[in-house]
Structure 1
Amino acid sequence: MTIKENSIQLRKVSTADVDAIWSILQQAIEKRKVEGSTQWQDGYPNPTVINRDIENGWSYVCMDEQDNIIAYVALIFDIEPAYEAIQGKWLTDGPYAVIHRLAVSQERKIKGLATEIMMAAENICLQQGVPSIKVDTNFDNTAMLRILEKLGYTYCGEVFFRAAARKAYEKILNV
């Protein structure tokens, strides 16, 4: 199945969604492992992280036509401490949103879903007047690197999480 441009919406998460979200994240963790990546192979993310995302109001899910959760993303409207020590330079110094923990269901593959989720997150930021999005990913996460390039994110340098370097990107939105 292929989705139509701008046809998805993200909704806020409730604690009732944790099991479905954790299932999707476990699928993503396994996918990264099979691909030979070290990303997400150290016990992160986990249910505690999901619950913290929910408590902070950062959690969003994407639903299919039958109201099944098919993707998860944390959209954070707060400073990411690791981003303060970038080895490189961000495009902007002002307010920004952060995208973390984007994962899509491996049970029901939908071509372009992760890209559409990124675009939906951009729309949420625009609605809230947030002028840029910052995101990072592992050096070997080729799928996410392609999405960031396709959507016009600019490589800004490296940030570090749990002692590992990540490629850092920013996109200035047309607020």
Structure 2
Amino acid sequence: MTHHFRKATTSEIPQIWGILQKAIARRKEDGSNQWQDGYPNPDVIENDIDKNAGYVLTEGDSILGYCALLINDEPEYQKIEGKWLTNDDFVVFHRVAISEKHLGKGLAKKLMNLIADFAISNNIYSLKADTNYDNFAMMAIFEKLGYSYCGEVYFRGSPRKAYEKVLPKTN
């Protein structure tokens, strides 16, 4: 089966929320505080989709993963305590979650590679993201995929580790 990466639709909110709820529970089991404050929630997903920012990784009729993709739209990133690698256009991604049934298949990496493809297709060569200090799985993926730690950003009063990856420009 081939994977597709496309915009999510409002009819898919229940399925996406199901994936995120399990990811929220996994963060808690891992002892992480990330996503334990009532955020994200179904309204957040609906808002992503309304803004054309909600994306799904699918295989046939199944949704394997979800993320929100925004271009140059993260005000908190302007207040970084540290320094970004670039100050050009960037794609920021939030709320990366892989379906419980499909864990351990390298899909988070696949999703992040598709995000890079999305950026390049929009002539953008910078990816930015952040994660909690206690989300070791995500930090490991950032390191594996060549992201650089750039400093701290704050969301809802909590410090987060901010990362950036500069993508190669191919002519």
Structure 2 partner of 1:119: 113
Q: 4+ residue runs of structure 1 moved beyond 2 angstroms?
A: 107-110
Contact kept? 1:74, 1:101, Cα under 8 Å: yes
Q: Give the counterpart of 1:84 among 60, 78, 103.
A: 78
Computed over aligned residues only, the root mean square deviation of the Cα atoms, in angstroms, reads 1.3
CA displacement 1:85-131 (0-9 Å, x = unmatched): 10000001111010100001112324210000000000010011012
Structure 2 unaligned blocks of 5 or more: none
CA displacement 1:12-49 (0-9 Å, x = unmatched): 11101100000000001000011111100000000111
Match of 2:25, as an amino acid?
Answer: E
C-alpha distance in 2 between matches for 1:33 and 1:115: 22
Structure 1 unaligned blocks of 5 or more: none
Q: SS where residue 9 of structure 1 aligns? A: strand
Query: What TM-score do you get using the length of structure 2 for normalisation?
Result: 0.95
Contact kept? 1:33, 1:41, Cα under 8 Å: yes
Aligned residue pairs total: 169
Structure 1 partner of 2:69: 75
Contact kept? 1:104, 1:113, Cα under 8 Å: yes
Structure 2 partner of 1:51: 46
User: How many angstroms does 1:8 deviate by?
Assistant: 3.5
